[in-house]
Amino acid sequence: GAGVSQSPRYKVAKRGQDVALRCDPISGHVSLFWYQQALGQGPEFLTYFQNEAQLDKSGLPSDRFFAERPEGSVSTLKIQRTQQEDSAVYLCASSRLAGGGVDTDTQYFGPGTRLTVL
Amino acid sequence: GQQLNQSPQSMFIQEGEDVSMNCTSSSIFNTWLWYKQDPGEGPVLLIALYKAGELTSNGRLTAQFGITRKDSFLNISASIPSDVGIYFCAGRRIIQGAQKLVFGQGTRLTINP
């Protein structure tokens, strides 16, 4: 089966523009996560969905960041009025189970969207 | 944001050499994970460790979950060219019913043929 897919793979935006990044998780996966990976760093947690419910958005850096998963499958991360510090790779991951699941519930990552804000 | 302390940041080795990298944290995790990330791709899980003191192998990879639950190491034996990439440790904990991963800064592995 297909893995996690993300689009676009690359996005260049002028400062102040709005962008929307899409994530298609593995079919049937209940949990979906968004991470931000700055150049030379490890991924950092942004937000978590269980089906359509956004249960944790503690990692979103500002109110310019907004994520949704209206039907419990595809998710969109939207960044309004982009700033240069938003330049990063945005990774999406999904896992089969809800909440904490079991120890063996693996997060599978997509290839990411590289956002460059000029 | 919080990240784990991972070292070394980079390694330059000869093909066939063994590699060792480690990760430490000031706080406890339920699970330790090791991922590998290739250019333009997302991280891929290599090894997962679920119990303090656990030693787990996956082919040429061996990893251990520290007894204090605050550290882990990864060893790669007899390195080959396809081992090139960035390795990340990650600690996993359950907060309010949801799993959260905290990643290290990564170890970039370069292999000279």
Decide: A34 and A46 in contact? Cβ < 8 Å: yes
Decide: residue A1, CB within 10 A, 0-12 exposed, 13-18 middle, 19+ buried. Answer: exposed
Of A99, A101, A111, the CB nearest to B42: A111
Decide: B30 and B93 in contact? Cβ < 8 Å: yes
Inter-chain contacts counted by CB atoms under 8 A, chains A and B:
77
pLDDT of residue A22: 98
Of B3, B42, B106, the CB nearest to A91: B42
Query: DSSP 3-state assignment of B83?
Result: helix
Contact with chain A for residue B42, Cβ under 8 A:
yes
Chain B residue numbers touching A29 (CB-CB < 8 A): none
B residues 49..68 contacting A (CB < 8 A): 50
To which residue do tokens 């109110």 refer? A63
Of B31, B41, B88, the CB nearest to A42: B88
A residues 43..102 contacting B (CB < 8 A): 43-45, 48, 50, 55-56, 59, 91, 93, 95, 99-101
Q: Which amino acid is at A9?
A: R
Cβ neighbours of residue B62 under 8 Å, at least 6 residues apart? B55, B56, B74, B75, B77
Best of B41, B94, B101 to disrupt the A interface (most A CBs within 10 Å) is: B101
The pair phi, psi for residue B42, each rounded to 5°, is: -85, 165
pLDDT of residue A1: 54
Which of the residues in chain A have pLDDT under 50?
none
Q: Which tokens hold the place of B96?
A: 């309010």
Contact with chain A for residue B102, Cβ under 8 A:
yes
Per-residue pLDDT of chain B (113 residues; tens, 9 = 90+): 667 999 999 999 999 999 999 999 999 998 999 999 999 999 999 999 999 999 999 999 999 999 999 999 999 999 999 999 999 999 998 877 778 899 999 999 999 87
